[in-house]
Amino acid sequence: MMHPWVDAHGHLCSPRLSQKQQNMAIERALHSGCAFFIQGGIEPADLSAQRRLAARYPGRVGLALGLHPEWVAAATYEQVQAALAEFERELETAQDISCLGELGLHFGREGGGPGELRQEQVFRQALTLIRDAGRPEAIILHGVRAQARMLAIWDEVFTQPRAGMVHSYSGSFEGAKEWLKRGLLISPSPGVARSGYQTLKKAMARLPLESLTFESDCPDQSPVRDTDPQALGEPTDVLAVARAVAVLRGLDPEQGLALLLSQSSKNLARIGIRGLPPATP
């Protein structure tokens, strides 16, 4: 079976991209063999933009209902309450969602503070709403400097394995295993295709292929950031990410990239991402 390649996480509706840039990025990705684009949800207005994009590219865009922790930290109390109410309403009614998230914690270098407490409250509340609504879709997690707290809150809400993925993961092999035990896939930070990221690179050489998926996280990350700090990422960058992991695993870059992206699509189907293009014989 041939599994069409997928960009497991990106933000094509980022305000940083014009409609022309969106179109060009999608056309380049389709040309490179990447057939489906799973989005990360930020807040209600972003979901509306995802729906408009999906209407222009039917069958290509996986919609995500989320409340991104950085958005939560920056919004007013009233905005967060309104977004949570909208999140709950979508959980009751939405039929067009591929996955749930981003949800998670994005902590600063200092640690602590009211923004972080609020992120924890919203993360716990959103997971609880998902559980209580009985939504089966995979949950997309976003975590920065907060793995222990995220695991603790996850375990408060879910006592059984629950399908999902940790996007832009940059931690260790042991840290990744904690999420695998709970039923989630690991999607490495696109930084794995750049210099540095040694802990992540060691993990990527060892984790089972059945536990991995790959993403561009466009436009926020780009494999050429080392030489061009302003570069905007796009979905086709997922090929460079998978190629870098293939090399870390001692595979031929091009054969390995095809193997890894095909396995990634299988893994995404296994965790129940909706709307994926069908596999062909």
Cite the beta strand spans of 81-220 per DSSP E: 99-106, 139-144, 164-169, 184-188
**Could you tell me which of 33, 34, 66 has the C-alpha nearest to residue 49?**
66
Among 40, 101, 188, 223, binds Zn ion (CB under 5 A): 40
CB of 223 to Zn ion, least distance (A): 16
Which residue is closest to Zn ion by CB?
Answer: 40
CB of 217 to Zn ion, least distance (A): 5
Residue 237 sits at the vertex; the CA angle it makes with 232 and 238, to the nearest 5 degrees, is 140
Q: Identify which of residues 14 and 262 has a Cβ nearer to Zn ion in the complex.
A: 14
> How far is Cα 149 from Cα 274, in angstroms, rounded to an integer?
29
The residue type of 87 is: F
CB of 234 to Zn ion, least distance (A): 14
Q: Identify which of residues 216 and 263 has a Cβ nearer to Zn ion in the complex.
A: 216
Which is it for the CA torsion 212, 57, 39, 85, positive or negative? negative
Written as six digits, the tokens of 48 are 């509306």
Q: Identify which of residues 73 and 246 has a Cβ nearer to Zn ion in the complex.
A: 73
CB of 41 to Zn ion, least distance (A): 9
End-to-end CA distance of the chain: 4
Q: Identify which of residues 66 and 175 has a Cβ nearer to Zn ion in the complex.
A: 66
Per CB under 5 A, which region of 37-45, 146-154, 230-238, 273-281 contacts Zn ion? 37-45
Binding site for Zn ion (CB under 5 A): 40
